Chains A and B, each alone.
Chain A
Amino acid sequence: MIEIKDFSKIYNGENRAVDKINLTINSGEIFAFIGHNGAGKTTTIKSIIGILDFEEGDILINGKSIKKYPIECKKQMAYVPDNPDLYENMTAINFINFICDMYEVPKNERKERIEKYADIFDIKDKLNNEISSFSHGMKQKVAIIAALAHNPDILIMDEPFVGLDPKAVFDIKEIMRKMCEEGKTIFFSTHILEVAEKLCSRVAIIKKGKIVKVGSMEEVKGDESLEKVFLELDEKNTTNL
């Protein structure tokens, strides 16, 4: 479970990238975070995962504050960044193993999971290659395998579908559904509204650092399409501003 309470992130003392947002993402939930470029999605995600310090509010991971207990919180989470800037000098298998070492995953478990996900994403025979030789999509696959290899309770992904081939997108969605059934929490940002519409139990729309709409898919869109609602909210907000 992720609880975001009155969270604000201010850059350089004046630029309020995220402004007092409140969100709760429950266990067994797939939650999509939607917004324009620069709306505050990545800032929120980076703050949840503990790589960005923030000034106001708090973020609780299964009841523990990421500020006060960063290590305990991080142990329960996995993060897939929007731009997979991985350790380029490592091979894919070395990188995934490195991440597993950090999460202290036993040998048999990691072997089983790495082989399973490498098979799913069809990169088993590329694991010995250096990451620097991979395309964006391949790097993204490595980042996802590394994130899943330690079987996290909470999976946080920033634009996970960007650069992936259709089969990989389908496979990730299946994995996300399965994790959700197992009672795990999935929080991701996306620009692909169709995916959010079909996959998520709840959704939040963020604009200029503020949550403009949050709720279950039915609550947010009613009988309309999510795309239409998003565009209408966007227009409405722009007029109000």
Chain B
Amino acid sequence: MKKLFSLIKAAMSQDMNLFKVKQQKKSGLGKIIFPIILASFFMICIGVYAYGFAEILNPMGLIDVLLSIFIILTAVLTILEGAYKSQGMLFEAKDSELLFSLPITKKMIFTIRIIKLMTFQFLYNSLFLIPSVIVYGIYKKVDLNFCMSSILMIVLSPIIPTIIGCIIGYIIKGISSKFKSKRFVQVILSSSLLLVVLYISFNKNKILEYIAQNAANIDVLIKQIYYPAVLFSNLIKSFNITEFLILLAICILPLVIFIYFGSIYYFTIISKSGEKGISKKTVIKNNKYKVKKPQYALIAKELKRFFTSPVFIINSGFGLVLMVVATIGLVTNFKGLVAGFSNGIEVEISTETVMQYISKIYLCLVVLMSFMTSITSSMISLEGKNIEITKSLPVSSKKILLAKVLTSNIISIPVILICDIIFFIAFKIKILDILLIVLASLIFPTFSAILGLIINLKHPKLDANSDTEIVKQSMSTFIATISGMILGLITAGITFIDGEKNIIIIIELIFYCLLDILLWQYVVKKGSKKFEKLSV
């Protein structure tokens, strides 16, 4: 047991700076306050969303459904997070060799990593569940049972989704470890999972309709989707020992079974994924000595880094995947989308009206997706220990940082421009609108890239154990995602102020263009110095 605690302590100190001896005199208050402010902001946003739901559900006497909806929503997100995080935390952790060399069982190693993963999932879940519980508490009587059951729900609810996520991650890693091009297969499988979730989200009305038609009432409906949600909401309404024991069994038993069976195959999968073409013997062809200019070579290096990290591709390129899906959806099912949206907000909207604003709507899509694609917010951190090689190169820091911004643009801008062309052809867009959309497709991704870089320079994580820690758990990506969402929503929202006119859009484009220049100047002057001071 002592061993287990020591290992948990070591594992957690890697990621959360817990148990760390303070080496610097500088106060760490800023480091604590900022994440708290961001997390609070996020929770307020979720709270507002939950309140909106509650306002609709309460008059219908369905306020109890609020919690079930949020538990299901959080469970889906946790499964997705679990599938991606498990690939990094369980299978690509850099301390695997060290841990497997220690006189501890494989089961213990697997358990520690599951506990670590659960802790992160618990924090992630709390961001969604705490606001929904508070909103629910506004409408319902708050007593001791409510408080205890809520805490129990927040603690237990990530377990099942995380196990499901781990199994998916396990399968993805297991299948990809059998292939020669492991990373490529991993990217394909992980992307497929994302597309399945997106497909379900886009077709949720049909799926829910189907379930609703086959369900006797709303409780049965939720029970069919996710049974623990019913138990959680029942416990919060009134405590029942039988339901409590069932819930405990449902949550804890799968975890025990998963750890037992998972640890049997864990070592095999880790070992296989470590085998990388050791016996390959080849002759170097003449074209391998192709000369590149330093700037191009740096970009090629960054592109290689991006395309060899499945978790990096999927997480930071999420906006681009959404962009493609949304454009295809808009082009192939325009009328259906308008009808769906019209039903959703319960206001009659004709396709003709939407057509008047179609360029503006699409431009907003470009804005949102550009801001949601934050590749550069991980790029400094992903240098890791290699930062010393990069810094020893005879090129200026400006060139190194420029390569990161250009790489981000090389990845994102072509995807957006292809979507633009599909959109222009399908909707026969006017020349002025084409010009504005193309400009937006250049200016906004550039802004997102520079902003991400600045954030990562301020919050680098060079000592991560895996790419997942950087891409999914670092402060930099968290800030970039939240700030991107806020800026994206504000920028997109403002464009509709002047109706069909384009004045606001033009002002925004000029503003962001100037901002791109100013921020780049900041990167050159201050960012370069920050980069030069970075060390592992």
Within 300-316 of B, Cβ neighbours of A (below 8 Å) are at 300-301, 304-305, 308-309
Which residues of the partner chain B approach A52 to less than 8 Å between Cβ atoms? Answer: 535
List 5 contacting pairs A-B, 8 Å CB cutoff, sorted by A.
A51-B388, A51-B391, A89-B309, A97-B288, A105-B291
Partner of A98, one of B276, B277, B297, B388: B297
Interface size class of B (residues with CB under 8 A): 35 or more
Residues from chain A with Cβ under 8 Å of B396 in the complex: 70-71
Q: Report the separation of the CA atoms of residues A114 and B291 in the bound assembly, to the nearest whole angstrom.
A: 13
Q: Is B281 an interface residue (CB 8 A)?
A: yes
Check if B304 sits within 8 Å of A89, measured CB to CB.
yes
State the Cβ distance, A165 to closest chain B Cβ, in Å: 17
CB <8 Å contact, A89 and B294: no
Q: B386 contacts A125, CB within 8 Å? A: no
Residues on B with beta carbons closer than 8 Å to the beta carbon of A85: 384-386, 388-389
| Residue in A72, A101, A110, A132 whose CB lies within 8 Å of B294 | A101
**Set of chain B residues within 8 Å of A129, measured between Cβ atoms:** 276-278, 280
Additional A-B contact list (4), CB under 8 Å, known A13-B25, A83-B385: A74-B392, A107-B289, A110-B291, A128-B284
Find out whether the CB atom of B392 lies under 8 angstroms from the CB atom of A114: no
Contacts of A114 in B (CB 8 A): 284, 289
Bound Cα distance from A103 to B23, whole angstroms:
38
> Does B292 count as interface, using CB distance less than 8 angstroms?
yes
Contact of B282 among A13, A53, A125 (CB under 8 A): A125
Docked CA distance A72–B284 (Å): 32
Q: Is the CB of B394 within 8 A of A75?
A: yes
Shortest Cβ distance from B293 into A: residue: A101
B389 near A86: Cβ-Cβ < 8 Å: yes
* Chain B min CB distance to A76 (Å): 8
Partner of A101, one of B297, B392, B533: B297
The answer to whether A103 touches B388 (Cβ under 8 A) is no
For B464-482 the 0/1 string (1 means CB < 8 A from A) is: 0000000000000000000
- Which residues 506-536 of B sit at the A interface, judged by CB distance below 8 A? 532-533, 535
Q: Which residues of chain A are within 8 angstroms of B388 by Cβ–Cβ distance? A: 46, 51, 81, 85
Cα of A220 to Cα of B289 in the assembled complex, Å: 45
Q: Kindly state whether residue B353 has any CB partner on chain A within 8 Å.
A: no
**CB closest chain-A residue, reference B383:** A87
The answer to whether residues A90 and B276 also contact, given A74-B392, A102-B395, A125-B281 and a CB cut-off of 8 A, is no
With A104-B294, A132-B276 as known contacts, state yes or no: A89 contacts B305, CB within 8 Å.
yes
Q: State whether the Cβ of B286 lies closer than 8 Å to any Cβ in chain A.
A: yes
B277 touches A101 (CB 8 A): no
- From B23, B298, B392, B395, give the contact of A12 (CB < 8 A): B23
Q: Are B277 and A50 in contact (CB under 8 A)?
A: no
User: Which residues, 104 to 138 on A, are CB-close (under 8 Å) to B?
Assistant: 104-107, 110-111, 114-115, 124-130, 132-133
**Alpha-carbon distance between A128 and B533 when the two chains are bound, in angstroms:** 34
CB of B347 within 8 Å of the partner chain: no
Which A residues between 64 and 96 are near B, CB-CB below 8 angstroms? 70-72, 74-75, 79, 81, 83, 85-87, 89-90, 93-94
Task: Tell me whether B393 is interfacial, beta carbon within 8 Å.
Answer: yes
Taking a contact as CB atoms closer than 8 A, the residue among B278, B283, B389 that contacts A125 in the complex is: B283
Whether a CB of chain A sits under 8 angstroms from the CB of B3 is no
Q: Is A49 an interface residue (CB 8 A)?
A: yes
A115 / chain B contacts, CB cutoff of 8 Å: 284
Contact present for B24 and A12 (CB under 8 Å): yes
Q: Known: A52-B535, A85-B388, A102-B393. Contact between A128 and B280, CB under 8 A?
A: yes
Is B290 engaged at the interface, CB distance under 8 Å to the other chain? yes
Q: Which residues of B contact A81 (CB under 8 A)?
A: 388-389
Q: B282–A90 contact, CB under 8 A?
A: no
- Does B395 lie within 8 Å of A71, measured CB to CB? yes
Is B294 a contact partner of A124 (Cβ separation < 8 A)?
A: no
CA of A97 to CA of B300 in the docked complex: distance in angstroms?
A: 11
A111 B276 Cβ-Cβ under 8 A: no
Interfacial chain A residues near B393, Cβ < 8 Å: 74, 99, 102
